[in-house]
Amino acid sequence: MRAVRMLDLELERRFLGPRLETAIQEVLSHSQFIRGPEVSLFAEELGKYLGSIHVIPCANGTDALQLALMALNLAPGDEVIVPAFTYVSTAEVVALLRLQVRWIDVSLEHFNLLPEKLEESWSPKVKAIVPVHLFGQAAPMQEVMEFAREKGISVIEDAAQALGAEYIYPDGRRQKVGTIGDIGCTSFFPSKNLGCYGDGGAIFTHHKELAHRIARIANHGQDSLYEFLEVGINSRLDTLQAAILRLKLPYLDDFNARRRAAAEVYDAYLGDIEAIQVPVRVSWSSHIFHQYTVRVLDGRRDALRAYLQEKGIPTMIYYPKPLPLQPAYQDSAYPVGSFPNAERLAQEVLSLPMHPFLSEDQLAYIGESMRAFFR
């Protein structure tokens, strides 16, 4: 059996085969490494895939979030609601722009923000909310959108972990995550469901003016060459990455389906273990399993992790500490205990190996090893 990895990019490269070299070779041939034709072609293709939306490529997912916030004309001290249980980028860009984070606790079932806490997280200074679609499943967007409309605030979706996942409305209508709020953001970091072979990111919006503005901010604030209309940043997706993403985009749905199939095999092995909560599938979203994250309910998470490590099975803890308790983000307004669910999840979550190329024998080996631990 091939050694199990959290993510196996080598198998993906084998799957893509010589097409990968061809795509890279084409860029080398024309040598337009910045703003080459592949960049705008990819933006168009991704826009079509998501459902006719403007796509502005940028350098990484963190920049995407920063650009989205910069385009909203917020003033220093304005507040932004962010889940207490997410990757650091979501809060980092808020703090960088001298805005204030207002944390919201998350669900023990689906790990996304808790709609019943929205009102509590609000203040008159709140100007935006950043729902994160964690681990590949949509946040409760209908509640978020209703709340945002009622309060007159903007919605920036962090879809870095959920590109291709669909929000499902009560009437069955489906909409790709990242295209529901005012602005959507994603990352093409190699480990994401649509990853490039370096750094990359993108911003989505239905509003033409806003798209134009975001593209301008990402390009030093210039509209035409050497006319700087506002202070911007330099954030570009490079041509090589765009060429790789163009090659991979047509496989995104297939890769996500393979992840789902692997998740079902995990479920079958783990579903009846009392101390394990397998990933809860919510009614309002498809799940693309960026991560397969279980909760270990008997306090033995770290022991299980060590046991699996012994067996050659890597696992990860996403995330070991809620952001409000991280040194850089501590605030006396939010003492320990402010976000009980996020704090509890940090003690209980464990992410198992997840990628489109897990074999049946690998999945069986992981499932059996988990069962053996709890026997």
Ligand X SMILES: *Cc1c(COP(=O)(O)O)cnc(C)c1O
**Residues of the shown chain interacting with ligand X in the complex, contacts defined by CB under 6 A:** 60-62, 86-87, 89-90, 132, 158, 160-161, 187, 189, 199, 201
Residue 198: CB minimum distance to ligand X, A: 10
CA distances from 63 to 71, 196, 232 (A): 12, 16, 11
Query: 88, exposed or middle or buried, with CB in 10 Å at 0-12, 13-18, 19+?
Result: middle
Closest residue to ligand X: CB criterion: 61
Core vs surface per residue 224-260: b (16+ CB within 10 A) or e: eeeeeeeebeebbbbbbbbbbbbbbbeebeebbebbb
**Taking the mean position of all CA atoms in its chain, how far away is CA 239?**
22
What is the smallest separation between the CB atom of 201 and ligand X, expressed in angstroms?
5
Q: Which is nearer to ligand X, 167 or 373 (CB)?
A: 167
Q: In terms of Cα–Cα distance, which of 211, 216, 245 is closest to 231?
A: 216
Question: Which residue, 50 or 93, is less far from ligand X as judged by CB?
Answer: 93
Indicate the residue among 201 and 353 with the shorter CB distance to ligand X: 201
Q: Which CB atom, from 20 or from 139, has the smaller least distance to ligand X? A: 139
Cβ distance to ligand X smaller for residue 60 or 293: 60
CB of 162 to ligand X, least distance (A): 9
- Angle between helical axes of 9-16 and 18-30 (0-180°, round to 10): 80
CA dihedral 210, 214, 216, 218 (to 10 degrees): 180
Instruction: For residues 286 and 138, give the distance between their C-alpha atoms in angstroms, rounded to a whole number.
Output: 8
Nearest approach in angstroms of CB 117 to ligand X is 19
Smallest distance from ligand X to CB 136, Å: 10
Of 183 and 304, which CB lies nearer to ligand X in the complex structure? 183
- Min dist. Cβ of residue 163 to ligand X (A): 11
How far apart are CB 159 and ligand X at their closest, in Å?
8
Which stretches does DSSP call E strand in the chain? 54-58, 79-83, 100-104, 126-129, 154-158, 166-168, 174-176, 183-187, 201-205, 276-277, 292-296, 349-352
Please report how close the Cβ of residue 318 comes to ligand X at its closest, in angstroms. 8
Contact call for residues 268 and 205 (beta carbons, < 8 A): no
Smallest distance, ligand X to C-beta of residue 271, A: 27
Residues near 330 by Cβ (< 8 Å), separated by ≥ 6? 324
Q: Which residue has the tokens 């464990």?
A: 350
Return the number of the residue (273 or 352) whose C-beta is nearest ligand X: 352
Q: Could you tell me whether strands 292-296 and 276-277 are parallel, antiparallel, or unpaired per DSSP bridges?
A: antiparallel
- Tokens standing for residue 33: 């490494």
The nearer residue to ligand X, 177 or 247, going by C-beta atoms, is 177
* Spatial CB neighbours of 360, under 8 Å, sequence gap ≥ 6: 265
Q: Please say which residue, 187 or 315, places its beta carbon nearer to ligand X.
A: 187
